[in-house]
A and B are shown apart, each in its own frame.
Chain A
């Protein structure tokens, strides 16, 4: 039973009310029971109300038929968030042995109009699960399509992560992340996916093995846009569980120095340097010179130690988070009172 094509035709023609369709003549629609005084009563368009009245009739009668399947499609078109309709549709798909590849197409059509909807993604996963490895390319393609419209789409990323783990397709994922980051280096979702790949892909050697190349990649990204929160966080994440390696890696401290010396967008460079110092890093005179060269006005000259100075600067240049930086200063390991 084709679940897709009949709906497409109907959309193109003018819609006929269910009460005017001969194939529905035997059904008495069941109106919404809002009770005598509805709590949060809803107003309906007439067409939507009718579709739901008929759906309620087949749902209560538990009619599992092709026309019921078509009806769920119409109900979903009106309101893709109605989880009861999706639920019933799944029961029908099962019983009527619908071609699930066509169902994937149906879902894609619905998603085109309202993709920020848990039910669509959940339904898609159920269908893809049933198809198994066969669905792999379809799922990666589908999520890619959605992400091409909204590259930070949370559901799409969540589904893609599931698809990779359940169905495979890891080989090209890192390249895909690079592609997205090239379009928007600030895309936190793409950075997160990158981390997902290097930590979980069976095709890479794990975090440690990937660290060298990933550090190079990330440093380049930081150099291009030092105000990018995601890249700095990613850099830190590359040393997960090995803080000493992070503190001692000259690439980390030198990128901080480089950004500081550029005197532009140095907030995260400063906060990273602060973190390094708190973990035992001892900055040389170059750092002090670079900070002094920033010429931050009205700095408390009492801050002789570099970490306190950094905190004072951060209080000034990131005033909305002044309390955080004050707290950081109070927690410095060697605050001279």
Chain B
């Protein structure tokens, strides 16, 4: 009312009723404009999605759930000992697609716990020796289901602490294989169970930095070729220990964005073929060092979507290849990082849905 009065003072000579009439016209015009813009946005999104292809979520859910009774399937046969990893890939992908509830929590959890050894480490399956790889996956799966209270944190910590070597590196198990993958796994796992302070963090970081190469990337051991998978592990470990200042983000960012090839996909090293799993390793690394805008988001999304088997579900390493749970997870996780609609956001360092990470750190 005050404004109308001011207006009539300024626009002297105008009849107040006419002014109101114009105001009403303007308002209804604005309303129509808003409606039009919304409709345009929706149809633009539809067009956008159509042009880019769509994520056949339901098919992927069916595929993941069906990764079972397949006779004479070599892939199934060789996965028996790493079922814990397989469970993490499948279940996290389901959670990102909002379908974790189709799985029976109690069955999964009791199976996970049956893979734990007295040492505190978890094996890849029932009756398998403990290994740091499966210990992280087990903890991550329990986190997905909000069953952290089942974890004897001291026991798991003991196991992992026992795997740190003098130089700060980590072994995978009692046999002593050293790889920066294990540095990430140790740090990620202990961070999730709030026991990161139990290892020698300084030495762990020092070892990781010793694996930094002149191109800004990281390898599996000092002098090892820079590889996107190892880079994810090193950057992730540095992120979780608050040591990202030790990374040359501009140099590494450039190395990482150079992974994008013409097709839009990402490779893991120079002059190698693109592979969907690098949509995770490269992408999460870029996000952690705050350089993800240096790649073409649209082209990468298109590449990942092209790797789907739209009939049977599942995602493969590159278009028209055979699908597997590993690449299905990394494709979905990559799309989540790219904020593809309909997927829950995923944390690039913990490789768990953001709401799960929040629950770990903020739940009382």
Contacts and interface: CB of A to CB of B under 8 A. Distances in A.
Interface of A: 32-45, 48, 52, 56, 59-60, 78-79, 81-84, 87, 90, 118, 122, 125-126, 152, 154, 157-158, 161-162, 186-189, 192-193, 195-196, 199-200, 229-230, 233, 236-237, 240, 320-324, 327
Interface in B213-269: 213-215, 219-221, 223-227, 253-254, 257-258, 260, 262, 264, 269
B72 interface: yes
Contacts of A321: 257-258, 260, 294-296
B177 interface: yes
A81 B86 CA distance: 14
Contacts of B254: 324
Tell me the dominant secondary structure on chain B's binding face.
Answer: loop
A233 B175 CA distance: 36
B342 interface: no
Given A37-B107, A122-B177, 6 more contacts: A35-B126, A56-B127, A84-B128, A233-B215, A323-B295, A324-B254
Nearest to A324: B294
Nearest to B71: A43
B68 interface: yes
B102 interface: no
Interface of B: 67-73, 76-83, 86-87, 90, 103-104, 107-108, 110-111, 114, 123-124, 126-129, 131, 172-173, 175-177, 213-215, 219-221, 223-227, 253-254, 257-258, 260, 262, 264, 269-272, 293-296, 299, 325
14 contacts: A36-B107, A39-B87, A39-B103, A40-B83, A43-B71, A43-B72, A43-B76, A60-B127, A126-B175, A152-B272, A161-B221, A237-B215, A321-B258, A323-B294
A118 B110 CA distance: 29
Interface-central residue, B103, B293, B294, by most chain A CB under 10 Å? B294
A320 B262 contact: yes
Nearest to A240: B214
A84 B123 contact: yes
Q: Which of A40, A44, A52, A188 is packed against the most chain B CB atoms within 10 Å? A: A40
A158 B220 contact: yes
B110 A192 contact: no
Contacts of A327: 294
A236 B177 contact: no
A71 to B, nearest CB: 15
A79 B77 CA distance: 7
B223, B226, B253: most-surrounded residue (chain A CB, <10 A): B223
Contact of B223 (A33, A60, A161, A240): A161
Contact of A82 (B81, B172, B299): B81
Contacts of B325: 40
Given A154-B227, A320-B295, A35 B81 contact: no
A199 to B, nearest CB: 8
Contacts of B270: 186, 188, 229-230, 233
A43 B68 contact: yes
B271 A229 contact: yes
